[in-house]
Amino acid sequence: MKNISVMFLTTCLLGFNANAASILEGDRSVPVESTNGMVVTSHTLATDEALKVLKEGGNAIDAAVTAAFALAVTQPRSGNIGGGGFMIVSNDKNGQVDAIDYREKAPAKAYKDMFLDEDGNVNKDLARFSHKSAGVPGSVAGLALALEKYGTISLAKALAPAIRLAEEGFVVLPRFTKGTTSQKKRLSKFESSKKVFFKKDGSAYQPGELFVQKDLANTLKRIAEHGAKEFYTGKTADLIVEEMQRHGGYITKDDLANYEPAIRKPIHGTYRGYDIFSMPPPSSGGIHVVQILNMMENYDIGKLGHNSAATIHVMAESMKRAYVDRSAYLGDTDFVDVPTKGLISKEYAKSLIVPLSDKATSAKTLREGDAPAYESSETTHFSIVDKFGNAVSNTYTINFSYGSGIVVEGAGFLLNNEMDDFSSKPGVPNAYGLIGGDANKIEANKRMLSSMSPTVVKKDGKNFLVTGSPGGSRIITTTLQVISNVIDHNLNILAAVSAPRLHHQWLPDEIRVEEGFSPDTIHLLEAQGHTVTEKSAMGAIQSIMIKEGTFYGGADPRRSTSKAAGF
Ligand code: GLY
């Protein structure tokens, strides 16, 4: 593994818009090493609680479920029980790789045009910030399923740290205060949210203060006592349905009672001899991670150089072609046929990208559409490995930071606004600027398309890289860049997660870059006809690399609270 120089790494890290001060917290200069277990999450407390589970002899799945519930308490902007997600579980001993789909579902009353106004335009407020924006949550059922099928500890034990953190409170860090302060207007719209996130005088909790969540603690206790079914058929279900009825939401008792997570076959592809396992539909993540890597494989990216104009040209051209297909073909495979085999085939990828002109391909010649705007996103990913050969790659979300902004009265948790991930109207972009078609139209009980890409890369049949990220439409490109940084450029895992990233999603027709790219490189790309736009940091890719029996943890410095820890 190439050891990048301290100067290069420091330049990378300090170059980001993301909280540069974060790198001063803890030792962020080298990957964390261990041989018995490794946890990398976006919150120090979740990492600590999950690591305790591993140290007590639990496996990676036990630790993952513990981390997910701890994040639901300590990082309410994205950690959740009111949302959904995806988990890849890979076991080296038996070679089995499974994908757990606990994505939210549209309620039975949902219908295609539910977010259109009388003029046929998308009512964005209704789609994103109303009770109708919430899908039926899947997190509790999905995490319980993971534990039951692959874990060794009880649900009550996995919930215990979260209950303690909610009941006794935890000390607020600066990132928490920044989040609630910046979203104050949205989180104050509903009294149920305002009283959870702000003090009695209406002010935000400050760094160093204790944040206690009694209602959430009681909800988690009920789940610990009665099992996941409590959330779907017990008092928590009643509280959700009452919340819906008070505010015109669609989720009913039947929707909750009927919710079921699914175990699916992961997407499997290869990249330069490594095996890539990632999430199948209803996420677009796995298909497009593999498709873009397949296109890149036609060029010697390692030789072209890390983040050189030549490499970025190949990557951006590959990315935009994949996002055209995403908009045309991807949806919930329980409802629509997705040509998965074709999309991830090497031949198809080659036909899209070979030969490649030196000039940028205009997005308009690929497909027409309106130039959309980006919005902020929050999802959270964690990676965990254990000494038993298990690797867990988990991404879950309530969509935006703080989801719909609506806390269920009396239950203390935020509802997702995942219904905006459907295509409300063909050709009209969602919050991430993603354009969808009929395959992703709103239908009753359907899962909305996602970009979440929890991924496990294997080398010679053994777990090698565990990775994934938040970032809405940028999840796919963030994930594949870390894979390429490791495989093509031989970067160590911390350098791979820290290096400046780029993104192209067909529309808008621009290469979005983080700070840290050389002006020379940008000028070369512009001379090729690319529009290059520097915007805020993308993703938070919590990753683990496994080499010769040692686990290397790389926590993304773009999140001040990220932490890798092993033992
Ligand atoms: N809510 C973002 C995604 O699932 O892709």
The mean pLDDT of the chain is: 92
Q: 10 Å Cβ neighbour count for 25?
A: 16
> Residue 348's pLDDT band (boundaries 50, 70, 90)?
very high
Q: Is 450 in the pocket of ligand 1 (CB under 6 A)?
A: yes
What gap in Å lies between CA 28 and CA 38, rounded to an integer?
A: 15
For ligand 1, the distance from its centroid to the CA atom of residue 538, given in whole angstroms, is 14
Average pLDDT for 335-340: 92
Q: What is the pLDDT of residue 30?
A: 81
For ligand 1, the distance from its centroid to the CA atom of residue 250, given in whole angstroms, is 21
Q: Which of 432, 474, 477 is the best mutation target for the ligand 1 pocket, counting ligand atoms within 8 Å of the beta carbon and taking the most?
A: 432
Peptide bond into 355 cis (omega under 30): yes
Q: What is the pLDDT of residue 374?
A: 37
- Distance (Å) of CA 451 to CA 1, 473, 505: 30, 6, 12
Q: Is 397 in the pocket of ligand 1 (CB under 6 A)?
A: yes
Residue 21 above 60 pLDDT? no
Q: What is the pLDDT of residue 541?
A: 96
- Pairing status of strand 563-566 against strand 37-41: antiparallel
pLDDT by residue (tens digit) across 126-156? 999 999 999 999 999 999 999 999 999 999 9
What is the residue-wise DSSP string for 422-447?
A: SBSSTT---TTS----GGGB--TTPB
Residue 167 CA from chain centroid, whole number: 27
Alpha carbon nearest to ligand 1 atom 3, residue: 450
What is the residue-wise DSSP string for 292-313?
A: HHHHHTTS-HHHH-TT-HHHHH
Q: What is the pLDDT of residue 16?
A: 33
What gap in Å lies between CA 411 and CA 217, rounded to an integer?
A: 9
> Residue 378's pLDDT band (boundaries 50, 70, 90)?
confident
Q: What is the pLDDT of residue 23?
A: 30
Q: What is the pLDDT of residue 375?
A: 41
Q: What is the pLDDT of residue 29?
A: 67
Average pLDDT for 222-227: 98
What is the residue-wise DSSP string for 74-115?
A: H-TTT--SSSEEEEEEEETTT--EEEEEE--B--TT--TTTT
Q: Is 135 in the pocket of ligand 1 (CB under 6 A)?
A: no
φ, ψ (nearest 5 deg) of residue 63: -65, -35
Q: Which of 47, 219, 379, 380 is catalytic?
A: 379
Residue 24 above 60 pLDDT? no
Q: Which of 418, 420, 453, 503 is the best mutation target for the ligand 1 pocket, counting ligand atoms within 8 Å of the beta carbon and taking the most?
A: 418
Alpha carbon nearest to ligand 1 atom 4, residue: 450
Q: Residues 417, 80: contact at Cβ < 8 Å?
A: no
For ligand 1, the distance from its centroid to the CA atom of residue 84, given in whole angstroms, is 10
Q: What is the pLDDT of residue 11?
A: 31
Average pLDDT for 284-295: 97
What is the atom index within ligand 1 of the atom nearest the CA of 420?
1
Q: What is the pLDDT of residue 312?
A: 98
Residue 5 above 90 pLDDT? no
Task: List 259's β-bridge partners, or say none.
Answer: none
Q: What is the pLDDT of residue 366?
A: 85
Average pLDDT for 518-535: 98
Q: What is the pLDDT of residue 430?
A: 87
Catalytic residue check, 379: yes
What gap in Å lies between CA 549 and CA 245, rounded to an integer?
A: 54
Report the range of poorest mean pLDDT among 60-74, 187-201, 308-322, 427-441.
Answer: 427-441
Report the range of poorest mean pLDDT among 54-68, 80-94, 370-384.
Answer: 370-384
> Residue 470's pLDDT band (boundaries 50, 70, 90)?
very high
pLDDT by residue (tens digit) across 86-96? 999 999 999 99
Q: Which of 400, 451, 477 is the best mutation target for the ligand 1 pocket, counting ligand atoms within 8 Å of the beta carbon and taking the most?
A: 451
For ligand 1, the distance from its centroid to the CA atom of residue 338, given in whole angstroms, is 18
Q: Is 421 in the pocket of ligand 1 (CB under 6 A)?
A: yes
Report the range of poorest mean pLDDT among 23-32, 279-288, 335-344, 374-383.
Answer: 23-32
> Residue 271's pLDDT band (boundaries 50, 70, 90)?
very high
Q: Is 452 in the pocket of ligand 1 (CB under 6 A)?
A: yes
* DSSP secondary structure letter of residue 494: H
Q: What is the pLDDT of residue 367?
A: 58
Q: What is the pLDDT of residue 10?
A: 32
Q: What is the pLDDT of residue 336?
A: 93
Q: Is 399 in the pocket of ligand 1 (CB under 6 A)?
A: yes
Q: What is the pLDDT of residue 426?
A: 84
What is the atom index within ligand 1 of the atom nearest the CA of 285?
5
